[in-house]
């Protein structure tokens, strides 16, 4: 009789344990709330003419990453209407990334929303002038330096010419003096030969 009484008790105990395990095992799957939060939102320059958009979506109650969420992301630029951005899973749970083309400088507004879990966020990023303008400016500076060097070299040549001028003046003066003396003696010789007065 004792053995028969113990069997139902053990069966009830086993059933109770199985029920508890089933409830505990189901808890993580149903623990996430219906609302979430976007965080770690950013936009960084990517390949030429593009920006990379990154967002992180987590559940509000436990902070777990929301994987497989239905996202809608658009970018509004300085001109034209909002452009949809295709997002792909990122490097961790709840992370998503996408690429958007940027054609003009100015401020861009990113709007991200999700339905499961429900969340929405908006953030902005600015696009400055591209590197080509900077490079061009650098080239102009280099040209200016080259012109300065050329001007300095020309100034040095002028200084050398100025230094040579006194020597040229002295040489010319000596030639003139020798020419005058030669003419003087030639006149005296000619007059003496003719019998005229000599000075």
pLDDT tens for residues 60-119?
Answer: 989 999 999 999 999 999 988 899 999 999 999 999 999 999 989 999 999 999 998 999
CA 159, chain centre distance (Å): 47
Write the DSSP assignment of 15-52 as a string of letters.
HHHHHHHHHHHHHHHH---SBEEEEEEEEEE-STTEEE
pLDDT tens for residues 171-185?
Answer: 677 677 677 667 666
Give the pLDDT score at 131. Answer: 39
Mean residue pLDDT of the chain comes to: 73
């Amino acid at each position: 009789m004792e053995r028969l009484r113990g069997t139902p008790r053990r069966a009830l105990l086993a059933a109770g344990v199985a029920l508890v395990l089933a409830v505990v095992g189901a808890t993580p799957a149903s623990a996430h709330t219906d609302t979430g939060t976007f965080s770690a939102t950013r936009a960084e320059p990517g390949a030429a003419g593009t920006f990379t958009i990154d967002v992180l979506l987590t559940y509000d109650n436990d902070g777990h990453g929301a994987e497989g969420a239905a996202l809608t992301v658009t970018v509004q630029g300085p001109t034209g209407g909002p452009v949809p951005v295709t997002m792909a899973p990122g490097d961790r749970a709840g992370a998503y990334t996408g690429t958007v083309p940027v054609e003009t400088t100015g401020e861009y507004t990113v709007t991200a929303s999700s339905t499961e879990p429900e969340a929405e966020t908006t953030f902005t990023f600015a696009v400055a002038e591209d590197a080509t303008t900077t490079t061009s400016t650098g080239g102009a500076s280099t040209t200016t330096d080259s012109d300065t060097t050329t001007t300095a070299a020309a100034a040095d040549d002028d200084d050398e010419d100025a230094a040579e001028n006194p020597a040229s003046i002295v040489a010319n003066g000596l030639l003139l003096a020798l020419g005058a003396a030669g003419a003087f003696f030639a006149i005296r010789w000619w007059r003496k030969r003719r019998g005229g007065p000599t000075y």
